[in-house]
Structure 1
Amino acid sequence: MSTTVTTPAGLHPPPSSAARPRPSIWKNLGFQIIVAMVLGAAVGFLFPSFAAQLKILGDIFLRLIKTAVAPLVFLCVVVGVTSAGDFKRVGKVGLIAMLYFEIVSTLALAAGLLAGNLLGVGQGMAETTKATLAHGKAPTGAGAPHSTLDFILNVFPDNFIGAFARGELLQVLVIALIFGAALLHLPPEKRQPIERGLNTISDAFFEFIHLIMWCAPLGTFGAVAFAVGSSGTSVLLSLIYLVLSFYAVVIAFIVVVLGAISALFKINLFRFLAFIKEEIFIVLGTASSESVLPRLLEKLPTYGCSRQSVGLVLPTGYAFNLDGTSIYMSMGVIFLANAYHVPLDLGQQLGILAVMLLTSKGAATVSGGSFVVFAATVAATGVLPLEGLPILFGVYRFMSIAIATTNVIGNSVATVVTAKLAGEFDPRMAEEAMARLRAERAVSP
């Protein structure tokens, strides 16, 4: 077996640390994101009316990112399928990934239910909820549950271009898998020019993303300023226990559950988090996991995962492995039950967990993300009050930061674990990536 390591499309071998000039901390994207978050929070508290208008900055940044997400997913999956050489290899990676996703998603939902019960989120807040409901309205999407059959049907596209235009990632995945399979059925002399063309287009899209990322600090500033300025301190004070509890649970989930999984597969979780720290900072600022999908598709192959495993597992995980969303949904259910004194016995909670195993998979396919899917789940249960949704909507922006960050970390770990299980991982490249990271730290001021 050849030991030659190829460089992923769009990447070039980094220069040695000896030849690399001393970087300036002001040019570090992660540092710029942190500064933008601090400034955004300050503007939000000091000038809330003005800060509410800065939402457009975050929206522009996210719109630019989303323009490249669907095409990049298509290109990475198709190239991954054709690089595998045969569909059996693709099937092996996909089967391992789906089993992993279901196990970890179940653990995340169970962790949220357990934490919600133990911490008593929502208890003693009846007066606060009544006051909020007097002036609130349920957000769009509440009370419009998506059935299992609707979800399955929505996976399959009815228009090739429409799936890209609507940003339906699951539909794009289906198109990419079928298109990749079709390429494998072509004779090599016909397939190779198409593969070279797809790799070239993929390189161009990655450069497109690099240019957009120059706007990341500005987008982060606007998004954070809007979140702080529009929500106000009264909402934060009334629901601060829920928000802090949720953050504590997701941190515990990352450290304990994902840490245990990483240790089982001989991955140093904290080193790995340092490797993707810039992506984590971006998600913390934008509260959107989509904002770093293109960067992770480019970066994880340098950690030792094969391009085909990254191209298949990571986009699929964005639809099927939403750990942060799962914890949010299960804790939200317990919050509503406690706040409105709706008793839920163990059997009912397990039944709701089964429903959430299906509905949580729709967060990437429903406009509005995790909150709208949660609203649909509440409606589907038939026992929880829809009137409580505006309360959670008031602090959703603050919780969505942790939701998106947990989703990104969970899917990044899932990609490495799946690559290892499928024999698609090069430990030497991982060591080289960490060596480069240590060298960069050594020369940083």
Structure 2
Amino acid sequence: MHTTTSDPTAIPGTPTPPTPASATSKRPSIWTNLGFQIVVAMVLGAATGFLVPEVAVPLKVLGDIFLRLIKTAVAPLVFLCVVVGVTSAGDFKRVGRVGLIAMLYFEVVSTIALAVGLVAGNLLGVGKGMADATRAGLAQGKAPSGAAAPHSTLDFILNVFPDNFIGAFAKGELLQVLVIALIFGAALLHLSPEKRQPIESGLNRISDAFFEFIHLIMLTAPIGTFGAVAFAVGSSGANVLLSLIYLIMSFYAVVIVFIVVVLGAISTAFKINLFQFLNFIREEIYIVLGTASSESVLPRLLEKLPTYGCSRQSVGLVLPTGYAFNLDGTSIYMSMGVIFLANAYHVPLDLGQQLGILAIMLLTSKGAATVSGGSFVVFAATVAATGVLPLEGLPILFGVYRFMSIAIATTNVIGNSVATVVTAKLAGEFDAGMAQDAMARLRADRAAAA
């Protein structure tokens, strides 16, 4: 199974090795960097919207084309990611205590992260600054394409379960695709290893092909971003840009609070000095901040965490599984993004609807692993799965995804590192003496280097 690639510029399906400082001079030109191209596209789109709004408004079609291309890959990508994620967890009876503790921890903390994002999004009112732009679009008779007539609770529950394997994909029913994927993954686990191995291998190969497919689509992101931003600014002026800047600042503030308060409280409960531990993985955090990819430090953490006192068995099981099932930064991004779209497009969500969407995100956030631009693509899948949220804002949100992906990847890495230590302690797979020795060696090495 591939691990999370939070950088939308990374080549899907390709492991990313740690990035040493000496390798920075060998990086490709900044002009070929997709993130840089998207920033340039945003600037050009905003300038077009300000200077020639009558030209900018029709450019919305560019964002719509990009959105359509993204939607073609969402259902098969989510299916493949969830199936591979389920099978990679292996036989839970065989995995035993460590695996069970890890999965329970992942679900509890992921739920807390989603709830934090929802509460913060509501309290901070993200997306409300875009009201003028979306009101203008609705006044022209352009209702959000993702909107659907409200369903009763029983209709919603019934619609979750498919009556046709292929039909769920053809209709883009993401919840049905998730159900199919979960059942299919469970079925694979019931096969003998001899029968299961070629199927898993085939699914991984198909996944590689879809990763390349979505990678090619992502190359059109600057064009889609240019059109979407030009339209948004041309129809409403600076409100959209201010709203996006506010979203970025709010998101960074929320993830800092989550790390300090939520992960800090968990660490305190298990007698872990969070700031001391963050100092222990400081180099890995720097790499993630530079690459916006949590995958770039997975090999280093697999080697480093056992020196902190976690058994190699627990690290080898918990850390890679956490890359698929414990994405705290992704969870916060998705829940705040939902509130952003709801506020921007005047879609009132009551408490029951928000709890329902939270339940959906508990499933879809697990598909963020292995997807190029993982958090954004799976967020798009979640928006489509709700049936009530608009899709028009997705290209605009992708325009600022690069800025947010740095915080997403960093939070994911810190969350999974803490999860590994906590799980090792709960399972009796932790040596406190080794942790003290590791910190002493670290202080000595840094003192000598200074």
- In the superposition, the TM-score normalised over structure 2's length comes to 0.63
Give the 3 Å change call, closer, same or farther, for CA 435–317 of structure 1 in structure 2.
same
Identity %: 73
Change (3 A) 1:163 1:117: same
- Aligned partner of 2:361 in structure 1 is 356
Match of residue 150, structure 1, among 174, 180, 191? 180
The 1-side partners of 2:412 and 2:445 are apart by 27
Aligned to 1:373: 378
Shift of 1:153: 4.7
- Which of 161, 172, 180 is the aligned partner of 2:201? 161
- Match in the other structure for 1:250: 255
**For the residues of structure 1 that align with 2:375 and 2:118, how far apart are their CA atoms?**
17
Partner secondary structure for residue 386 of structure 1: coil
Change (3 A) 1:394 1:415: same
Q: Relative to 1, partners in 2 of residues 1:392 and 1:409: Cα closer, same or farther, differing over 3 Å?
A: same
Q: Tell me whether 1:396 sits opposite 2:426 in the alignment.
A: no
- Greater CA drift, 360-369 or 419-428: 360-369
Report the CA distance shift for 1:123/1:323 in structure 2 as closer, same or farther (over 3 A): same
Contact 1:129 1:391 in 2 (8 A): no
TM-score of the superposition, structure 1-length normalised? 0.63
- Out of 303, 309, 328, the position equivalent to 2:314 is 309
| Aligned partner letter, 2:277 | F
Question: Does the 8 A contact of 1:318 with 1:411 survive in 2?
Answer: yes
Per the alignment, do residues 363 and 132 of structure 1 end up closer, same or farther by CA in structure 2, a change over 3 Å counting? farther
Residue in 2 that maps onto 1:263: 268
- SS of alignment partner, residue 400 of structure 2: helix
- Unaligned regions of 5+ residues in structure 2, if any? 1-18, 45-83, 146-169, 189-195, 209-220, 234-239
Aligned-residue offset at 1:151: 3.0
2:283 maps to 278
Counterpart code for 2:411: T
Query: Over residues 367-409 of structure 1, what are the superposed CA-to-partner deviations in whole Å (9 max), with x where a residue is unaligned?
Result: 5411111111111111111111112111111111111111111
- The equivalent residue for 1:336 is 341
Mapped pair 1:121 → 2:121: no
Which one-letter code corresponds to 1:92 in the other structure? R
Equivalent residues of 2:105, 2:419 under 8 A apart:
yes
Q: Distance in 1 between matches of 2:278 and 2:171?
A: 35
In the alignment, the residues of structure 2 paired with residue 286 and residue 132 of structure 1 have an alpha-carbon distance, to the nearest angstrom, of: 37
Cα gap change, 1:167/1:440 in structure 2, threshold over 3 Å: closer, same or farther?
farther
Report if aligned partners of 1:326, 1:356 keep a CA contact under 8 Å in 2: yes
Distance 1:33 1:272 in 2: 26
Aligned ranges 1:408-419 → 2 under 5 Å:
408-419=413-424
The residue aligned with 1:327 is 332
Number of residue equivalences: 326
1:19-418 equivalent positions in 2, closer than 5 A = 29=20, 90-128=95-133, 145=174, 147=176, 148-153=178-183, 155=185, 156=188, 159-165=199-205, 237-418=242-423
Residues 112 and 331 of structure 1 are in contact (CA less than 8 Å); yes or no, is this contact kept in structure 2?
Answer: yes
Cα distance change of structure 1 residues 335 and 304 upon mapping to structure 2, 3 Å threshold: same
> Is the CA contact 2:174–2:384 (under 8 Å) kept in the aligned structure 1?
yes
Describe the shift of the 1:256–1:31 C-alpha distance in structure 2 as closer, same or farther (beyond 3 A).
Answer: farther
- 1:87/1:252 CA distance change after superposition, 3 Å: closer
Task: Quote the RMSD (CA, aligned, Å).
Answer: 4.2
- Contact 1:236-1:395 within 8 A present in 2 as well: no
SS of equivalent residue, structure 1 residue 125: helix
Which residue type is aligned with residue 102 of structure 1?
A: E
Distance 1:120 1:104 in 2: 24
Report the alpha carbon displacement of residue 92 of structure 1 after superposing the two structures with TM. Answer: 0.4
Q: Any idea what the Cα deviations from partners look like across 1:408-429, whole Å, max 9, x if unmatched?
A: 1101100000000000011111
Runs of 5+ unmatched residues, structure 1 = 1-27, 53-72, 169-225
